[in-house]
Amino acid sequence: MWLVILILVILLIIIIPNVRIVPQAHEYVIEFLGKYKTTWEAGLHVKIPFIERISKKITLKEQVLDSPPQPVITRDNVTMRIDTVVYFRIFDAKLYTYGVVNPINALENLTATTLRNIVGELELDGTLTSRDTINEKMTAILDDATDQWGMKVNRVELKNIIPPEEIQSAMEKQMKAERDRRETLLQAEGHKAAAITRAEGDKQAMILAAEGERDARIARAEGEAKAIYLAKKAEADGLRALKEAGVDSAVLELKKYEALVNMANGTASKLIIPTDAVNTVTNNSIFTETTGLGDTTKPAPKPAKPSKPDPCCDK
């Protein structure tokens, strides 16, 4: 009885450590007597004790390799430091285990050499402005080279590009000069636009003023013409009415005299009368007696007052 219990205990001690549960997104590489046998995927597995062993535990999740800054020489002999970030994942546990010794170190060295080859074909300005091109080229090269290691490179990013201090100082001066140039251009464009706007405004103001003066003159001329027209029309209507009423020549002459009287009562300093009008006035005594116009006889002087005797002299 005790022997059976002892055997069961020994079996449990041997079997339980050989029961393995592989987590999700992981794989275990199993060797049989030192030779690759199989790859365990996620789930429950049991290995044969003393004969099988777990050679390597692999994660299938995407991993990040952050390489330290590497000295790189450009085509125009400028030495700069560039650090990269590589995103990769393992798609074949067997190749990853047996394809290369220390795959992560191999990927890091391959990244550094590839970066030097690509940047060595570019000049400084091209390196600073061609990040996307460098990333695409490195991704394609590393992905192709790591297939035999069971690794898939998804993308490569240049994290930092650090040029020498003297290059940084020159670049800062260049950027400052460029900013000053742009500021000057913007100010000049602003002054130009303002001058054009002012000139356009003055032009429109002059045009509007001229149009207003023209309209005012037209309105005044139309008003004067209408006033003259109405005056002449009234005069014509008056004459027509007199003619229709059968007025004799004496009344018409009287109307002429009344007009002359009105003219003489004005503020004019001189009055020019046609010869026929003067003859008519002279021949018409009624007009002379009524208005006194044309009467050149001076009025008789007033009688002088008698002087008083002077008591001192008239004795």
The verdict on 68 and 159 lying in the same domain is: yes
Residue pair 101/54 in contact by the 8 Å Cβ criterion? no
Is residue 225 a part of any domain in this protein? no
Is residue 69 a part of any domain in this protein? yes
Contacts of 78 (CB under 8 A, 6+ apart): 123, 124, 163, 164, 167
Residue type for 62, please? E
Residue pair 70/116 in contact by the 8 Å Cβ criterion? yes
The verdict on 107 and 130 lying in the same domain is: yes
Is residue 278 a part of any domain in this protein? no
The verdict on 54 and 121 lying in the same domain is: no
Is residue 113 a part of any domain in this protein? yes
The verdict on 41 and 18 lying in the same domain is: yes
What's the pLDDT score for residue 142?
A: 94
The verdict on 43 and 133 lying in the same domain is: no
CA separation for the pair 72, 138 (Å, rounded): 15
What's the pLDDT score for residue 302?
A: 53
The verdict on 71 and 131 lying in the same domain is: yes
pLDDT, tens digit, 9 for 90 and up, residues 269-308: 455 555 555 555 455 544 445 545 444 444 545 555 555 5
Query: Which of 163, 190, 221 delimits the end of a domain?
Result: 163
Is residue 175 a part of any domain in this protein? no
The verdict on 41 and 133 lying in the same domain is: no
For 247, the 3-state DSSP assignment is coil
What's the pLDDT score for residue 144?
A: 93
* Residue where the block lists tokens 């079996």: 11
* pLDDT by residue, tens only, the chain of 315 residues: 777 787 777 777 777 888 888 899 899 999 998 899 999 899 888 888 888 889 899 999 999 999 888 889 888 888 889 989 999 999 999 999 998 889 999 999 999 999 999 998 888 888 888 888 999 999 999 999 999 999 999 999 998 888 888 877 777 787 888 888 888 888 888 888 888 988 888 888 899 888 888 888 888 888 888 888 888 788 777 767 766 766 556 556 666 666 655 655 555 445 555 555 555 545 554 444 554 544 444 454 555 555 555 554 444
CA separation for the pair 36, 226 (Å, rounded): 121
Query: Which of 101, 136, 163 delimits the end of a domain?
Result: 163
Query: Which of 133, 163, 193 delimits the end of a domain?
Result: 163
Helical H runs in 51-102? Answer: 93-98
Is residue 21 a part of any domain in this protein? yes
Tokens of 286: 């009624």
The verdict on 26 and 90 lying in the same domain is: no
Is residue 244 a part of any domain in this protein? no
Q: Is this structure's pTM higher than 0.75?
A: no
For 92, the 3-state DSSP assignment is coil
| Residue 145: CATH number of its domain | 3.30.479.30
What's the pLDDT score for residue 17?
A: 80
- H-run or E-run covering 16: none
Residue pair 22/43 in contact by the 8 Å Cβ criterion? yes
For 176, the 3-state DSSP assignment is helix
The verdict on 26 and 92 lying in the same domain is: no
The verdict on 125 and 94 lying in the same domain is: yes
Full domain range(s) for residue 126: 63-163
CA separation for the pair 90, 1 (Å, rounded): 52
The verdict on 87 and 49 lying in the same domain is: no
Is residue 188 a part of any domain in this protein? no
Structural domain total, the chain: 2
CA torsion through residues 55, 59, 63, 66, sign: negative
What's the pLDDT score for residue 130?
A: 85
